[in-house]
Structure 1
Amino acid sequence: MNNLKSSLFLLVLLVTVNSVTVCQSNRKMYGVTIDAVNNINNIVTAISNHRYRMTTRIVFDEWMPATNYSVAVNKLDSVCVIMGELLDSYYVNDYTVAQYKARTDEYMGLLGGKVDIWEIGNEVNGEWLGNKDSVLAKINYAYNKARALNYRTALTLYYNKNCWENPQNEMFRWVNANISNDMKQNLDYVLVSYYEDDCNNLQPNWQVVFDSLHVIFPNSNLGIGECGTTNTVRKEEYINRYYRMNITTPRYIGGYFWWYYRQDCVPWTTKPLWGVLEYAIRASVLMNDNYNNELIRDGDY
């Protein structure tokens, strides 16, 4: 009888663990990007008024001390999950390897306890980041530093099918040739930055893109790490297209991280695109059968 009880207990435990794993692997993340923290109170109010807990990606500006972001990070910490972009890709080539390492140490040292996910490299396969070996030295250091501190890591790639300047920088080719096996197995998030305006208005087959990335990064959560447009008349169309995407790839979590959130959605009471974004997220939640307790939030990202 005791053996029967033990067997039943183990069966229930296995079913429970498997159910939790499936639930966690399918959780969705809805993100926005803020490229500056001036007027932080209005930003916090806009983010906190979304129905679902958001993930806010802060772009840490070039040559700015980490102390410039302490107030903003502390205020955002109470209302959202925080992703910290260590340095925008546009400025990576302006930093020596030593300077990038020092910046990593400074930012993770001061803000690490409040930043939930560290974006250790942004659009890393872009031609404009400079010498490949220098880029790899920078992102490898930041990755290893974050791992040593037990921080979550994200790597953002740049999708550039048929719009690269150098074929060696095509996203999949660059990743396969340069990303270490350690990163391929252990990055927490692998995200894709994409701007249709910069790539012949191509609308990729995202299902194929993320299925392919899942083969390379089998243990990583996958999603869109940046999107947006400066074309005012197409912003609503873009928001709806990206935030309502229905991707079935294992470990696909969404993200999206609209680059122009500060400009387009703050203050939330006077910017119509705040409502467009809000209802796109609600539609996505309904479409994917994700209820409030299945969204990524602090502690389970």
Structure 2
Amino acid sequence: MGNKKMYSTRSIFHKTVSFVLVLAVLAISLCQCDSVNRSTPEAKQIFGLTIDDVWYDDIALEDVLDGLKNLEVRPMVRIVMSSEIEPVDYINLFKSVAQYADIMASPVDSYVMNSYKDTESYLKRFTDSYESLAPYVSIWEVGNEINGTEWIKQSPELIVNKVSSVAKFLKSKGEKIALTLYCTDSPHQDMITWAEKYIPEELANIVDYCLVSYYEDDNDGYLPDWESVFKELGDIFPVSFLGIGECGNTAPDATQESKIEMAKRYYQMPKPHERFVGGYFWWNWVTDCIPYKDNAVYDAIKSFGH
């Protein structure tokens, strides 16, 4: 009896220890998984181009599609939607482009953000876009250059509320979302300070892609310290992929050579952060690169996609 009782006690002890060890291993594994998911997610690099809304009267859609077909890498194309055009009327463009590119939809550009006076009208623009265009869209840009209050002319609080409502709606549908901030050379319009002050964790923690819009021509040729910029952005957006959301040589005196030089500077920039996935999204890709034949700017940007 004594030996049997001793055996039973040891058995219970061993089982208890084993159970505790299993729980400890499981807890460590879960922590490691969470750490990997938050700090070192894996994603393919994005070769981004922009199809803006100013070419409709001058360039044929077939020419745009030919330019996409001739690329060696399938790009991610941001389609900037005009506020005067209903989402349903974009179906043909989105369906056509989706044959040759993944699409990031931009239903509201920053320059027309203030035409949506409240959260309800802004959300409706996106729900209408989702209903008509979701089958063709890989990423939704829920807010474009949202810290650009100088031209948006709405309060940061209203802008963030508008963007948050759309982000919650699209995430409830299982969609991927991007948020674009505008970078300048001015400490008075510091992107990081603005984001820290106005973007709540609830929004920052559901953004799939945090992108930076930057135009050297608007900032006297100033070149940001991208490692520093993306380190700070990475802290604010701890689970987001990071990238350049807009760039381009937009100066009136821009030349073929200056466009190629600037495109190279961005599309071939060293990776500044472990979660950096590229992007770039050359803003004037259609007007600079289409028609594509014998077009040196097109050929240069195409070569950067390797």
- Shorter-chain TM range is 0.7 to 0.9
How far has the Cα of 1:23 moved from its partner?
A: 9.6
User: Partner of 2:129 in structure 1?
Assistant: 107
- Residue in structure 2 matching 1:178, options 186, 189, 198: 198
**Letter in structure 2 aligned against 1:25:** E
Q: Is the 8 A contact 2:40 2:274 kept in 1?
A: no
**Letter in structure 2 aligned against 1:91:** V
Map of 1:106-255 to 2, 5 A cutoff? 106-127=128-149, 128-129=151-152, 130-162=154-186, 167=188, 169-230=189-250, 231-232=254-255, 233-255=257-279
**Letter in structure 1 aligned against 2:234:** H
- How many residue pairs match? The answer is 262
| SS of residue matched to 1:103 | helix
- Residue in structure 2 matching 1:75, options 86, 89, 96: 96
User: Partner of 1:94 in structure 2?
Assistant: 115
Q: Is 1:50 the equivalent of 2:71?
A: yes
Runs (4+) off by over 6 Å? 20-24
How far has the Cα of 1:24 moved from its partner?
A: 6.3
| SS of residue matched to 1:91 | helix
User: Partner of 2:302 in structure 1?
Assistant: 278
Between the aligned residues of both structures, percent identity stands at: 32
Distance 1:273 1:151 in 2: 33
Map of 1:22-33 to 2, 5 A cutoff? 25=42, 27-33=44-50
Gaps of 5+ in 1: 1-13, 283-301
User: Partner of 2:85 in structure 1?
Assistant: 64
Q: Is the 8 A contact 1:25 1:250 kept in 2?
A: no
User: Partner of 2:9 in structure 1?
Assistant: none
Distance 1:177 1:137 in 2: 14
Q: Is the 8 A contact 2:44 2:277 kept in 1?
A: yes
CA RMSD of aligned residues (A): 2.2
Q: Is 1:35 the equivalent of 2:59?
A: no
How far has the Cα of 1:87 moved from its partner?
A: 0.7
Q: Is the 8 A contact 2:51 2:283 kept in 1?
A: yes
Q: Is the 8 A contact 2:77 2:104 kept in 1?
A: yes
CA displacement, residues 70-90 of structure 1 (integer Å, 9 cap, x when unaligned): 001101112111000121101
How far has the Cα of 1:280 moved from its partner?
A: 2.2
Distance 1:135 1:64 in 2: 22
Distance 1:190 1:52 in 2: 23
Distance 2:106 2:155 in 1: 20
| SS of residue matched to 2:136 | coil
Q: Is 1:84 the equivalent of 2:105?
A: yes
**Letter in structure 2 aligned against 1:43:** V
Larger displacement relative to structure 2 (108-117 or 257-266): 108-117
**Letter in structure 1 aligned against 2:109:** D
How far has the Cα of 1:26 moved from its partner?
A: 5.2
- Residue in structure 1 matching 2:282, options 253, 258, 261: 258
**Letter in structure 1 aligned against 2:267:** Y
How far has the Cα of 1:113 moved from its partner?
A: 2.0
Q: Is the 8 A contact 1:59 1:84 kept in 2?
A: yes
User: Partner of 1:293 in structure 2?
Assistant: none
Q: Is the 8 A contact 1:88 1:122 kept in 2?
A: yes
